[in-house]
Amino acid sequence: MKTQLRILLAAALVALLAGWAGLRSGNAALAARLAGAPAAEAAR
Amino acid sequence: MLPLLRGALFGAGFGFVLYQVGATRYSRVMGMLTLRDTKVMKFAFTAIAVASLGYGLAAALGVAEDWNLVPRVMPFLGAAHLVGGVLFGLGLGVSGLCPGTCVAKAGGRGGEKRYAAPAAIAGLVAGVFLFAVLKDPLTAAGIIAADQRPLTVHGTLGLPYAAVALAWGALFLAIALAVDRLTPEQSYAPARARRTVLDHLRGEWSWAASGTAAGLLVLGATADGGYLGFSGAILAAVGALAHAAGHPLEVVPRLTDDILWRAALIAGVFPGAWLAHAVSLPSRAAAASRPAKVLDPRALATSFGAAAVMCLGALVGGGCTTGAFIAAWPTLSVGSLAMAGTFFAVSMATSNARLSILRSYDLRAAQAVGDRVYD
């Protein structure tokens, strides 16, 4: 369990760092456009 | 055929995970709602964290549109979230079931009461018919909003989705860790010590591993053009069957690839959970003595009634524990926050009142039963 948790935390840290680098490199403008597509009625 | 196959595979994957984490167990769900066994809560928070980080990372790196990882946002439905949330919360607090786990419990042959899970599935179907009858009157009364807009937290705040989603994911991971530190988790010892990787795959999975798997399935379903929500999937499945029978429901007027994908999603949960049950290691207590299931008409009626109310609530209020919570909170939908916030408040109040005031169940006894029969 501890090993699995460490892997999860390490992966999350990598995702956060990569995300931070992506935002800094100018993708924030694109990210701002991603308001999300509405889900269909049956998506509930 | 392809949408059917792909939807069924995602459903089977999620059904396998639901069984392996113990989310199909009455004692685990009631333990979560009464904060006496929070494994399933940590599982859900981890799934939300993983999906949020995945969506946020894809948006931040500029690949979200290319990889089809633009989150599908549930629209805001107004008072419907309150009405639907109360109905869903009552059903969840009484039965310890949600739409996906009804099917997973039947597939995994869980529970000490014979035919209770199939009765719950029949209740879900009844809930769809109730919704088909009540949708127009509820819309006319203004309870279900006619003007449904995809309101989001980041949109309301005027912030980029990527930054908010990454922070949201980190927050939920931190909450899962805090819950792990501060609250208890019930342990069901396996029949034999787990040594090999295969043993670990066959035994009950940890909340971290199963939450990660569930979060990845949410992301995979989005990338595949679907949406991992089980109440909508039940609506789609009943709608597809009604079409096949020659009597289409007004709430599912056409059979699109999307409807077929969703119908297959819920159907796939059954074999997924069945497979998990077939390969899983029993608990030590179950290996020693496994009591025969009992036929209890009262349990059948409770399962049927609670599932019908719960399914109606989910369809009115915009989703269930997957469609309005695990798969929806990473999208930062305001409507889903309102829906799941309402149904968790009501289900926690209901289950705690039943435990401490009405004394209509005994959690320790339920946990002991769960150890022997995989409740």
Token couple for B101: 């786990």
Give the gap in angstroms from C-alpha A40 to the nearest C-alpha of chain B.
Answer: 8
- Inter-chain touch B60–A27, beta carbons under 8 Å: yes
All residues of chain A having their beta carbon less than 8 Å from the beta carbon of residue B319 are 44
Give the gap in angstroms from C-alpha A10 to the nearest C-alpha of chain B.
Answer: 12
Give the gap in angstroms from C-alpha A34 to the nearest C-alpha of chain B.
Answer: 6
Q: Say how many C-beta atoms besides its own lie within 10 A of residue B123's C-beta.
A: 27
- Could you tell me if B242 and B217 are in contact, meaning their C-beta atoms sit under 8 angstroms apart? no
ipTM: 0.82
Q: What's the whole-model pTM score?
A: 0.94
Give the best residue of A16, A25, A33, A34 to mutate against chain B (max B CB count within 10 A).
A34
Token couple for B113: 């009461």
- Inter-chain touch B319–A32, beta carbons under 8 Å: no
- Inter-chain touch B235–A44, beta carbons under 8 Å: yes
Closest to A15 (Cα-Cα) out of B61, B174, B332, B42 = B61
- Inter-chain touch A12–B229, beta carbons under 8 Å: no
- Inter-chain touch A43–B323, beta carbons under 8 Å: yes
Which H or E run contains A38? strand A37-38
Which string of DSSP letters, residue by residue, matches B251-287?
TS-S--HHHHHHHHHHHHHHHHHHHHHHHSPPBHHHH
- The tens place of each residue's pLDDT in chain B, 375 residues long, gives 688 999 999 999 999 999 999 999 999 999 999 999 999 999 999 999 999 999 999 999 999 999 999 999 999 999 999 999 999 999 999 999 999 999 999 999 888 899 999 999 999 999 999 999 999 999 999 999 888 889 999 999 999 999 999 999 999 999 999 999 999 999 888 888 888 888 888 989 999 999 999 999 999 999 999 999 999 999 999 999 999 999 999 999 999 999 999 999 999 999 999 999 999 988 888 888 877 889 999 999 999 999 999 999 999 999 999 999 999 999 999 999 999 999 999 999 999 999 999 999 999 999 988 888 888
Nearest CB among A16, A32, A36 relative to B331 is that of: A36
Tell me the H-state helices in B141-203: 153-157, 161-182, 197-202
- Inter-chain touch A35–B155, beta carbons under 8 Å: yes
Burial (Cβ within 10 Å: 0-12, 13-18, ≥19) of residue B200: middle
Closest to B162 (Cα-Cα) out of A8, A38, A33, A12 = A33
- The set of residues, in sequence order, having a beta carbon less than 8 Å from that of B252 and lying 6+ positions away, is A42, B235, B236, B238, B239, B240, B242, B243, B259
Domain borders along chain B are 2-282+297-365
Nearest CA in chain A to B322: A44
Name the phi and psi angles at B215, rounded to 5.
-60, -40
Indicate the Cα dihedral angle A43, B3, B4, B8, nearest 10°. Answer: -70
